[in-house]
Amino acid sequence: MASSNITATDQVQPNSKTRVLFASLVGTTIEFFDFYIYATAAVIIFPHLFFPASTDPTTATIQSLATFAIAFIARPIGAALFGHLGDRIGRKATLVAALLTMGISTVCIGLLPTYHQIGIIAPLLLALCRLGQGLGLGGEWSGAVLLATENAPEGKRAWYGMFPQLGAPIGFILATGSFLTLSAFMSEADFMQWGWRIPFIASAALVIVGLWIRLKLHETPAFQKVLNKQKEVNIPFKEVLTKHWGMLILGTIAAICTFVVFYLTTVFALNWGTTKLGYSRSEFLELQLLATLCFAAFIPLSAILAEKFGRKATSVGVCIVSALFGLVFSSMLESGNTFVVFLFLCTGLAIMGLTYGPIGTVLSEIFPTSVRYTGSALTFNLAGIFGASFAPLIATKLATTYGLYAVGYYLTAASILSLLAFLAIRETKNDDVNNQI
């Protein structure tokens, strides 16, 4: 009887449009803020504080970037864990758990002692916290997308699915802006000693806001239908692997371009620009911060295109543009002209906005509701392993061994690979996906 009452209550108390969109946006903003402050610190701070025993700065940076990769390896594990919960007990509770996992891990990073204080235990603890970040983000992203798309009216799923994607550029702006602000108001010595910890610890306030908003939500209408008909899958992970493995593979390959273009334009470009091209940390971060506005602006545009021309046609077109960008990657980045470098960053992040905007909608629509959380989370996070986890390391190796042009070819190859996957995925624009239990 209690279960029936809960169901009835959920049915008569739908989520408001504003609360849904804000909850999906604020959660991913927090998650990506946490993620990006680590990415920035992995390049400019952690090599000095957690890996000083290395014989040269390049080795220390590579070791630091290796801990950056840990989160991407952990993300599919988080996707399977939180996806199981999301497809068994619901989107709301799972989103809260994922946010807490990510937030606690980030705050702990800001409290860690350094190598000089506790030796080899310091980088090990850093790696453990990074693992927690990866687990949390593995369950956060897909849940936020489903929160938006499963509450969306027909004909607006791509538009609703775009809102959690906006959390990425907003989080990046907040992360980069926080480091720039701290650098401007304190000495280099103070920043390296304790100032870098502030963004990590301050993220606790953002997490509290995110939790407050999400705890006020009701279950999504689409998943409520699954609960009402008692169609929950006992082991969603097994169901995805045995019955939807084709979409799992195609979705993973399709999302690779999204990761490669972003991490080459941000993490790799920051490292290369500050170590090889003579830019100061603040100067390059300022360029990236301004260019991120292009990232944010092109996400809504991609949603409009996906609603008008379809998810498939839009994504295929963006992959072609990304492949062409790879051919001019090196000539723009190492031009020696600050304006051209800024144009390079704007172009790369605009392409990122176009490919990132509809990818959440695409990956959610290719799976039925009963395994959608697990399926979309696995595809996105497996793509993170292949497309992002080692992208800065691979790009650095290619650039130092063969030259910067090889990094551009790497991007072109990844774009073509995703293009082929999108060609094999059917168009889902007109599907009634919320009734595919």
Cβ contact 353:134 at 8 Å? no
- Cα separation, 425 vs 138, in Å, equals 23
Mean pLDDT score across all residues of the chain: 85
pLDDT at position 319 is 97
Sorted by where each starts, the structural domains of the chain and their CATH numbers stand as 17-424 (1.20.1250.20)
The mean per-residue pLDDT over the stretch 48-66 comes to 77
pLDDT score of 351: 97
Instruction: Encode pLDDT of 367-408 as tens digits.
Output: 887 888 888 888 988 888 888 777 878 898 899 899 999 999
Determine the pLDDT at residue 330.
94
Q: Are 320 and 419 in contact (CB under 8 A)?
A: yes
Count Cβ atoms within 10 A of the Cβ of residue 56 and give its class: 0-12 exposed, 13-18 middle, 19 or more buried. Answer: exposed
| Residue 18 burial (C-beta neighbours within 10 Å; 0-12, 13-18, 19+) | exposed
Tell me which of 81-85, 122-126, 230-234, 423-427 is least confident: 230-234
Residue 129 Cα distances to 6, 262, 390, angstroms: 37, 23, 18
Q: Is 3 a residue whose pLDDT tops 70?
A: no
The pTM for the full model equals: 0.80
For residue 55, how many other CB atoms are within 10 A of its CB? 7
CA distance 263 to 239: 32
pLDDT confidence bin for 10, thresholds 50/70/90 = very low
Residue 234 gets which letter from DSSP?
S
pLDDT grade for 9, boundaries at 50, 70 and 90: very low
